[in-house]
Amino acid sequence: MTAFTIRPGSKGGLIDFNANLKAFADSVDATVEVAARKIAQALYNGVVQRTPVDTGFARSQWQILLEGDEVAVRPVGDHTAEDLAKLSTFTTVGTGSILIANGAIYIKKLEYEGHSQQAPEGMARVTLAEVQAQMDMIMKAAAQEAAGRRKP
């Protein structure tokens, strides 16, 4: 986190305050964006890994959507690299939100009605609980990564 400082020779006037405030806002924005990406990645990886596999269709339908994207039905296969690459374009100002969705018609039955012996408790609910339990660790890693990006 950026500390407020007074420049040498300054009396700590409005210009210094504005510069400090901007530096602080930039560090918070960077941390928020990195944290959002890390949380989304953890959620996406968790639901993908927990989705039971029969034909592979339901697992291949998990997708990361940024503002303006729509859920699509995709061919069976591993779309992880393309989905995670999409996260690198996420900004809180430009895209604003991240959605993790699944295009399989029967995903609600798998999640809520116990239609799979492989994942009777669902995928999303279990993953959300796990990621929530790891939140302090995720936020600390995001702050460290954001701070590392700001260093010259």
Give yes or no for residue 38 having a pLDDT over 80.
yes
DSSP secondary structure string, 3-39? PP---TT----HHHHHHHHHHHHHHHHHHHHHHHHHH
Residue 7 is assigned to a structural domain of this protein = no
Residue 103 is assigned to a structural domain of this protein = yes
Residue 2 is assigned to a structural domain of this protein = no
Give yes or no for residue 4 having a pLDDT over 50.
no
Please tell me the distance from the alpha carbon of residue 115 to that of residue 92, in angstroms, as a whole number. 37
Question: Which pTM value belongs to this model?
Answer: 0.74
Burial (CB count within 10 angstroms: exposed 0-12, middle 13-18, buried 19+), residue 120: exposed
Residue 93 is assigned to a structural domain of this protein = yes
Question: Span 140-145, mean pLDDT?
Answer: 82
Condensed to tens digits (0 to 9), the pLDDT of residues 47-71 reads 999 999 989 999 999 999 998 889 9
129: containing domain: 14-150
Per the structure, the count of domains in the chain is 1
Give the list of residues 6+ apart from residue 91 with CB closer than 8 angstroms, or none. Answer: 33
Q: What is the pLDDT of residue 16?
A: 57
Q: What is the pLDDT of residue 145?
A: 81
Q: Is 94 helix (H, G, I), strand (E, B) or coil?
A: coil
